[in-house]
């Protein structure tokens, strides 16, 4: 009797442990451990510019503007800058400003390291580091601008479209192709999305799915484009500006808050991004369909979380959340830690 009781307890214990074991579809634990990468103590890296092998980045731990050269980091400017972008000769960074007040803006000349304060009358909301684009708030209106040798040039204006309490986001595919996505004017739950010409984007069906979520990634190629909603949905625009839902990235979680732009890069007609499991997906911009990438650079990077990408021809630099910088060689389909 006593023996039977012990067997029953042992069986119950095993069943309980089996039930609370939860690795149904995840990758192997030992496999992941064998692929683990040392953390780099600079925090999350937002890449801004590559120049002659040197990388310029905004880092969350070591100081705002950093230069990564020859395997080591150095601080360029430790002011509490908030926004960064770059043109061919300068890196620009702006400090945070009070509502509707102009930001303090500085330029860093890459060639000689000269720091210069730029006269500015604009309230800058955000910058797109890799495409030299700036989103400016002007009363109830929003303007997209770009730096042109120490001055801000106008590109497009969006007047009265958005809820001014929560500013929209500027998401770019290039210096000329971008969208603005944000809460609609007068609404706290419905989003509107405009292209670079100020034209509103719409859908023929799935209205709620399109309007209930902000767009957080955008890639354009040959007049066609794809948008990624914060719920992982891929929307395809064949050029008509009436979008179609094609498919949904699995295991996808947006960055909090959910309207923040999501890290991705565009190469050779495809948009590449990671999901929450760090799996890479490539979206064919010409048709809006995606496929999961299981090998090559995607396998090499399956153990790090990307925070930003910087494309330089066949090289793609990856700024990670905790593991420093990686370089993808798209020709050889491989990635290495820098």
Point out which residues bind another protein (CB under 8 A). Answer: 14, 17-18, 20-39, 277-278, 303, 322-323
Q: Of 38 and 313, which CB lies nearer to another protein in the complex structure?
A: 38
As measured in angstroms, the least distance from the Cβ of 233 to another protein is 22
As measured in angstroms, the least distance from the Cβ of 276 to another protein is 8
Q: Of 36 and 205, which CB lies nearer to another protein in the complex structure?
A: 36
Rounded to whole angstroms, how far apart are CA atoms 89 and 277? Answer: 37
As measured in angstroms, the least distance from the Cβ of 234 to another protein is 21
Question: SS3 letters for 25-75?
Answer: CCCCHHHHHHCCCCCCCCCCEEEEEEECCEEEEEECCCEEEEEEECCEEEE
Q: Of 76 and 338, which CB lies nearer to another protein in the complex structure?
A: 338
As measured in angstroms, the least distance from the Cβ of 55 to another protein is 22
Report angle CA 300, 304, 309 to the nearest 5 degrees: 90
As measured in angstroms, the least distance from the Cβ of 90 to another protein is 36
User: 67-75 long-range CB contacts below 8 Å, 24 or more apart?
Assistant: 68/325, 68/338, 71/338, 73/42
What sign does the CA torsion over 35, 39, 40, 45 have? positive
Q: How far is CA 242 from CA 208, 239, 245, in A?
A: 14, 8, 10
As measured in angstroms, the least distance from the Cβ of 46 to another protein is 21
Q: Of 64 and 319, which CB lies nearer to another protein in the complex structure?
A: 319
Question: Which residue in 283, 324, 278 sits closest to 336, CA to CA?
Answer: 324
Q: Of 65 and 304, which CB lies nearer to another protein in the complex structure?
A: 304
Question: Which residue in 171, 176, 145, 151 sits closest to 89, CA to CA?
Answer: 151
Q: Of 61 and 109, which CB lies nearer to another protein in the complex structure?
A: 61
Q: Of 276 and 314, which CB lies nearer to another protein in the complex structure?
A: 276
Which region holds residue 232: left if phi is over 0, alpha if psi is between -120 and 50, else beta? left
Q: In a 3-state reduction of DSSP, which class is residue 2?
A: helix
Residues paired with residue 68 on neighbouring β-strands, in sequence order: 55, 73
Q: Which two tokens stand for residue 308?
A: 């930003």
Q: Of 190 and 278, which CB lies nearer to another protein in the complex structure?
A: 278
Residue with tokens 């989103």: 135
DSSP one-letter string for 224-285: EEEEEETTSEEEEE-SSSEEEEEEE-TT--PPSSTTSPPP-EEETTEEEEE-TT--EEEEET
Question: Which residue in 68, 71, 78 sits closest to 115, CA to CA?
Answer: 78
Rounded to whole angstroms, how far apart are CA atoms 183 and 165? Answer: 9
As measured in angstroms, the least distance from the Cβ of 24 to another protein is 8
As measured in angstroms, the least distance from the Cβ of 301 to another protein is 13
Q: Of 30 and 53, which CB lies nearer to another protein in the complex structure?
A: 30
As measured in angstroms, the least distance from the Cβ of 218 to another protein is 28
């Amino acid at each position: 009797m006593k023996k039977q009781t012990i067997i029953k307890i042992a069986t119950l214990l095993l069943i309980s442990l089996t039930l609370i074991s939860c690795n149904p579809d995840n990758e192997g634990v030992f496999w992941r451990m064998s692929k683990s990468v040392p953390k780099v103590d600079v925090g999350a890296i937002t890449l801004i510019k590559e120049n002659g092998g040197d990388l310029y980045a905004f880092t969350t731990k070591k100081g705002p503007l950093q230069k990564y050269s020859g395997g080591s980091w150095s601080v360029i400017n430790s002011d509490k800058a908030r926004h960064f972008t770059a043109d061919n000769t300068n890196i620009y960074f702006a400090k945070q400003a009070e509502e509707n007040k102009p930001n303090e803006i500085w330029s860093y000349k890459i060639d000689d390291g000269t720091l210069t304060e730029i006269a500015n009358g604009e309230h800058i909301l955000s910058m797109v580091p890799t495409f030299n684009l700036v989103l400016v708030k002007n009363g109830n209106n929003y303007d997209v601008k770009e730096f042109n040798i120490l001055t801000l040039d106008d590109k497009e204006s969006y007047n009265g479209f958005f809820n001014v309490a929560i500013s929209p986001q500027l998401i770019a595919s290039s210096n000329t192709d971008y969208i603005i996505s944000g809460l609609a004017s007068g609404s706290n739950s419905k989003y509107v999305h405009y292209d670079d010409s100020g034209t509103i984007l719409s859908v023929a069906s799935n209205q709620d799915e399109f309007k209930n979520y902000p767009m957080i990634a955008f890639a354009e190629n040959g007049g066609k484009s794809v948008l990624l909603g914060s719920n992982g949905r891929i929307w395809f625009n064949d050029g008509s500006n009436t979008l179609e839902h094609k498919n949904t990235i699995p295991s996808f979680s947006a960055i909090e808050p959910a309207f923040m732009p999501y890290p991705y890069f565009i190469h050779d007609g495809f948009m590449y991004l990671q999901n929450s499991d760090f799996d890479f997906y490539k979206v064919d911009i010409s048709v809006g369909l995606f496929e999961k990438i299981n090998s090559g650079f995607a396998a090499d990077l399956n153990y790090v979380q990307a925070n930003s990408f910087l494309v330089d021809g066949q090289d793609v630099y990856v700024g990670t959340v905790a593991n420093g910088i990686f370089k993808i060689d798209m020709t050889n389909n491989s990635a290495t830690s820098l």
